[in-house]
Copies of this chain bind each other. A is one copy, B any other.
């Protein structure tokens, strides 16, 4: 599919500053470290809110229950992320609060009209969020890396959603086509959201411009961020039998 790697709406444009080639390994500043930790913590809250809402609208009780537990687990580790911000000398609630509203545009533009659209939204949205945060996390080691890695487990591609989506798409070709189309819309919005976030948050761009701690992770350097995210999305869609 020629459009597989070209989400059309909106076209993401990487800010010039994130194109900076990584130079000598200089760790991010403490303020930029707190910016990433704040984003992770806010992502945990956003994941909680999304999953709790999905749970309420689940079509069967087992799914409702599993989504509720995913929501609960997503927020359960937030205390450790906020504690890390406090340890670094910042007001954790202020840092967290600075992200209020910053996800709204993505959420509003991707309001699902069916249960399946909602499930795919979570699968795609959390997937891109996980991959993006992981790329940023690769610039850290020590305690911050540990708490971010633990938090990222909550964003890991959801096996429950994947299984249900794959089965539904396989059983109903029309639904599968519609979901493939919706997936392209979702990833376009998600990449646009990442782009907006980087435009608004120079601290995150500076983090991205740092070299990864592990030289093996150079392949996801800042300049290649969007192609990395797009390729990971395509593989994730492939796993549920949909064309990205």
List residues of chain A with CB under 8 Å of any chain B CB: 45, 48-49, 52-53, 55-56, 61-62, 65, 68-69, 71-76, 78-79, 93, 96-97, 100
Identical copies in the complex: 2
Which B residues lie within 8 Å of A45 (CB)?
Answer: 65, 68
A62 to B55, CA, bound (A): 23
State whether B72 touches A48 (Cβ < 8 A). yes
Q: When the two chains form the complex, which single residue of B65, B72, B79, B97 contacts A71, counting CB atoms closer than 8 Å?
A: B72
The minimal Cβ–Cβ distance linking A69 to chain B, given in whole angstroms, is: 6
A52-B52, A97-B61 are known contacts. Are A78 and B71 too (CB-CB below 8 A)?
A: no
The minimal Cβ–Cβ distance linking A107 to chain B, given in whole angstroms, is: 12
Contact residues of A: prevailing secondary structure? helix
State whether B62 touches A52 (Cβ < 8 A). no
Q: When the two chains form the complex, which single residue of B49, B69, B73, B100 contacts A68, counting CB atoms closer than 8 Å?
A: B49
Which B residues lie within 8 Å of A76 (CB)?
Answer: 72, 76
A68-B48, A75-B68, A75-B69 are known contacts. Are A56 and B53 too (CB-CB below 8 A)?
A: yes
The minimal Cβ–Cβ distance linking A185 to chain B, given in whole angstroms, is: 24
18 sampled A-B residue pairs with Cβ under 8 A: A45-B65, A45-B68, A48-B52, A48-B68, A48-B72, A49-B52, A52-B53, A52-B55, A52-B71, A53-B56, A65-B93, A65-B96, A68-B75, A69-B79, A71-B71, A71-B75, A72-B74, A76-B76
The minimal Cβ–Cβ distance linking A60 to chain B, given in whole angstroms, is: 10
Which B residues lie within 8 Å of A93 (CB)?
Answer: 62, 65
The minimal Cβ–Cβ distance linking A92 to chain B, given in whole angstroms, is: 11
Which B residues lie within 8 Å of A56 (CB)?
Answer: 49, 52-53
- Highest count of chain B CB atoms <10 Å: which of A49, A71, A72, A97: A72
